[in-house]
Amino acid sequence: MTSDDWTIDSPRLHLRPFTPGDADEAFAGITPGLTRYMAFEPPPSEEAFAAVWQTWLPTIADGSDITFVIRRREDDVFLGLAGLHRAGEAEPELGIWIAEVMHGHGYGREAVAAVWSAASERLRCAAFRYRWRNGTGPAVHWLSPSVGRRWHVNRA
């Protein structure tokens, strides 16, 4: 399945595969506060970020690992990125980050739910992994496409 098949709308959000035209807004949203509980540090420059996002393009094109741009539907404001990683495996992984200035509005939860719902309809998989990191440490959640929105937590 190619990324051409992956445009997702939810009540407040529009998600579509990342393109080079999204790079400036994405780079601006990657801050030290945002990445505090993530597995990466903010890239030191736009050039360093370009080296990262350019590796996304082939996997987005072949549908194996899709990075989505999240925008608010009402005004097309950039909110963050969501990911559907390892889409061809038995347990693909969902990922999310929302720009710090947009925290507190439920956009992250809505984006993850939208990607999970769309992927559940399109992929044959046992479950989805969703890694969550916060001040209490990392955890892994499993979302089952056949059970509904049941979250299973396993502390990593």
- State residue 39's pLDDT score: 66
What CA–CA distance (Å, rounded) separates 40 from 43?
Answer: 9
17 in Cβ contact with 3 (< 8 Å): yes
Is 155's pLDDT higher than 70?
Answer: no
Q: How far is it between the farthest Cα atoms of the chain?
A: 43
> What are the pLDDT digits (tens) for 103-122?
889 998 899 889 988 888 88
- Nearest in space to 71 (alpha carbons), one of 40, 114, 39: 114
The tokens of 60 are what?
């987005």
Q: Calculate mean pLDDT across residues 65-88.
A: 94
Residue boundaries of the structural domains of the chain: 3-127
Give percent helix, percent strand, percent coil of the chain, each to the nearest 5.
35, 30, 35
Q: How confident is the model at residue 132 (pLDDT cuts 50, 70, 90)?
A: low
The tokens of 27 are what?
């780079």
> What are the pLDDT digits (tens) for 2-58?
455 789 999 999 999 999 999 999 999 887 777 676 666 778 889 998 999 999 999
What one-letter code names the amino acid at 140? V
The tokens of 150 are what?
């049941």
Percent over 70 (pLDDT), the chain: 75
The tokens of 80 are what?
């963050």
Q: How confident is the model at residue 136 (pLDDT cuts 50, 70, 90)?
A: very low
The tokens of 144 are what?
């089952």
Is 76's pLDDT higher than 80?
Answer: yes
Superfamily of domain 3-127: Gcn5-related N-acetyltransferase (GNAT) (3.40.630.30)
Q: Calculate mean pLDDT across residues 76-95.
A: 90
The tokens of 125 are what?
């998989």
What one-letter code names the amino acid at 61? A
